[in-house]
Each structure stands twice: as structure tokens, then as C-alpha cells.
DNA sequence: CTCACAGTTTAGAATTGTTCTAATCCCGTT
DNA sequence: AACGGGATTAGAACAATTCTAAACTGTGAG
């Protein structure tokens, strides 16, 4: 049986609302709903589609456009991080800290690798006029 | 003035044809044309669109569908490597050896980093049942 | 050298993921 | 309760890519 926010996560709502306010985002019904789902457990990896399905399964109607808007706003606000590993889908990661990923392409599955685990040495200075923004490591894995 | 293959690169054609045969691909006019462009100079990074434009500028008509087909066939044959750095475009790299990339998103520019330059240490064992396929490093840079 | 066929190419339609638009809605303030 | 500007929405629009079915072309057999 699907339950509304009010029935299930009173504190989740409070937390989400606070988080949104803190990020300078108006805590609308949709944003609170999505934030509650995203930040309930940690280290989640979602696509717009998957989150849209999830929120629908929770019995709440949020348009796909809003899911896209929200994912981007959350990302800009530093609440999410976009992970680019697949040419055809965008993933968003609730873990915004320094870390890397395993990626199982066949199933679209991402697994976090803590930031301290992997060390990247020898990154050369970028060409003149360019600054390093971030170093991403993707460990592509397959069944086998 | 646009020139045909026959006028410009006699040996380029021979090389491309041999390379295609060796890869088990029938050396059709289109594939030879594309291979000649791709492998004329080394370390090129193209998108389907850019390669399609380039071949058109060379005065040869190859459909966009064929460019896509060919890029994928070349990739499967190990002649190219697909580089995933941007959510909206696929890049193909003529350098199939072990190496990494700088990526300047604002201009869609990729720059190779030789394989020996960067060392990635501490990659953990993947979860049971999974094997490491490849470790990709993308150094995201920006103007500044 | 020619034929025939399997593999290729092609134009255009279709798909997919994402963004845009313009109308409606609702959060926070008054 | 009313207002105003941001937020949401359905649906159209878009861009990159893939599919489809028909036309074409290397290549090996004869």
C-alpha cells in the first residue's frame, strides 16, 4: 500500500525541508518528496527515469520535467553530483564527497569507491590556460 | 577544391584497405574513405557528427547512418575506442592504447594523456562475480 | 568475366533521453 | 484572504542515435 509522506516520514520531511531551505531552495511539495526519497538512505545512484518511477510508486505524482529540473537544481546546490559513465543516461549520486565508481554497464549499476581508496598520481599540468576541475576515475567492470 | 581519394592518398587508401581487411571488414568505398580520414594523422578524437562533416567537406557523400555504423564496427574491431566524457555526445578515439584524457567540456575538446603518465593505485577488488574491464581517468578542465 | 548473394549503404522514420514553452499553480509575505 | 514571483506541468520540441526496408556493391563461384 502506498503511503504519503505524512504517514511515513515526518522527520524525513522535516530534514528534507531544512536541507532545501539551507540550500536556498523553496521547499515545495515535489522537492520535499524527492529529497526525502533521495536522502533517506545514503549513497544512492539514480537516473531521472528511475527517480520518476520511484516517486510514482510512492503514490505521488511528480512530472518528469520536475524530476529533471529538481535533479539539476540539487546538483547546482551541491546536494547531488552528476556522474557521467554512460553515453545514453545521466546518473546522479547522493554522495557528493570525493570518491570514485565501479560501473557495471550491462545493468546500469554504479558502486561507490571511497575517495581515500584510490590514488591517482602523475596527472600532468593541463595545457596553458586550463585549470583542473576534477579527476574522475571509473572502474568499468563486467560479469564474469 | 575537394579532391577524391584517388587523387590524394593512394597509399592512404592502400593502408586503409589493408587495415580493414586485417580487421575482417569488407573494404567498401565508405569504410576506406572514413578509415583514411581517421588514421591519416594519429590521436584523433571525433564524434559521428564531426566525422560526417569532415567526410562531406572532403567532397564525398557518406550517410550519417553509415558513419554511426562504421564508428561502431571500427570500435568493435579494435580500431577505435569510445570515450565517454559527455552526457550528450559520444567521442571516438583513434588511439586505442592505454591512455587517459583531459576533457574541456565547454568546447568538447579531448586531449590525450599518455598511459604511463598517470598511475592509478589502490583500485579495490570488484564485488564478487565482477571483473575489471578497464580503468578510465578523466581530468576535467576548464578555462581560467 | 559474369552472376548471384550476402553484406553494405541509404533516406527517412522512429526512438530515446532531455529540454523548452506557456499556462497554471502554490509558497511565503502582506 | 490576496498577491506576486518562483515552481510545476503537459505536451511540444529537440538532438543524438538507432532502426527499417529498399537499393546497391564487393567477392567468390562458376
pLDDT digits (tens, 9 = 90+) for B66-92: 999 999 999 999 999 999 999 999 999
What is the pLDDT, as a whole number, of residue B41?
87
Q: Which residues of chain A have pLDDT under 70?
A: 1-9
pLDDT tens readout for residues B85-97: 999 999 999 999 9
Interface contact B141-A122, CB threshold 8 A:
no
Judging contacts by C-beta atoms under 8 Å, the chain A residues touching residue B102 are 126-127, 130
For A108: left if phi > 0, alpha if psi spans -120 to 50, otherwise beta; the answer is left
Instruction: Tell me if B141 sits within 8 A of A132, measured CB to CB.
Output: yes
The predicted model gives B14-39 an average pLDDT of 96
Q: Please say if the pLDDT value at position B138 is more than 70.
A: yes
| Residue B4 in this model has a pLDDT that exceeds 90 | no
Which nucleotide comes closest to B27 if you measure CA to C1'? D26
- Nucleotide in closest CA–C1' contact with B47: D16
Pairing verdict, β B99-104 and A45-46 = unpaired
The model's confidence at residue B9, banded by pLDDT at 50, 70 and 90, is low
State the pairing for strand pair A130-143/B81-83. Answer: unpaired
Cβ atoms of B67 and B51 within 8 Å: the answer is yes
CB A28 within 8 A of CB A13: no
Unique residue bearing C-alpha cell 600532468: A124
Q: What is the pTM of this model?
A: 0.91
Give how far Cα A12 sits from Cα of A9, A32, A34, A36, A76, Å. 5, 9, 11, 6, 22
- Long-range contacts (CB closer than 8 Å, 24 or more residues apart) made by B9-12: B9/B36, B9/B40, B12/B36, B12/B40
User: Which nucleotides on strand C sit less than 7 A from a protein beta carbon?
Assistant: 7-12, 16-21, 26-28
Q: Which residues touch strand D (CB under 7 A)?
A: A 25-26, 28-31, 61-66, 69-70, 87; B 21, 26-29, 47-49, 64-65, 68, 72, 88-90
Contact predicate B58/B2, CB 8 Å: yes
Amino acid at each position: 500500500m502506498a503511503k504519503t509522506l505524512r504517514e511515513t516520514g515526518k522527520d524525513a520531511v522535516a530534514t528534507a525541508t531544512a536541507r532545501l531551505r539551507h540550500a536556498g531552495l523553496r521547499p515545495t511539495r515535489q522537492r520535499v518528496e524527492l529529497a526525502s526519497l533521495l536522502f533517506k538512505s545514503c549513497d544512492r545512484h539514480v537516473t531521472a527515469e528511475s527517480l520518476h518511477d520511484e516517486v510514482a510508486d510512492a503514490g505521488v505524482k511528480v512530472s518528469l520535467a520536475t524530476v529533471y529540473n529538481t535533479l539539476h537544481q540539487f546538483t547546482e546546490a551541491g546536494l547531488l553530483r552528476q556522474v557521467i559513465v554512460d553515453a545514453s543516461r545521466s546518473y546522479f549520486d547522493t554522495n557528493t564527497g570525493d570518491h570514485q565508481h565501479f560501473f557495471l554497464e550491462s545493468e546500469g549499476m554504479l558502486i561507490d569507491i571511497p575517495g581515500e581508496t584510490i590514488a591517482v598520481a602523475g596527472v600532468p599540468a593541463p595545457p596553458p590556460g586550463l585549470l583542473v576541475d576534477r579527476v574522475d576515475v571509473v572502474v568499468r567492470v563486467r560479469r564474469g
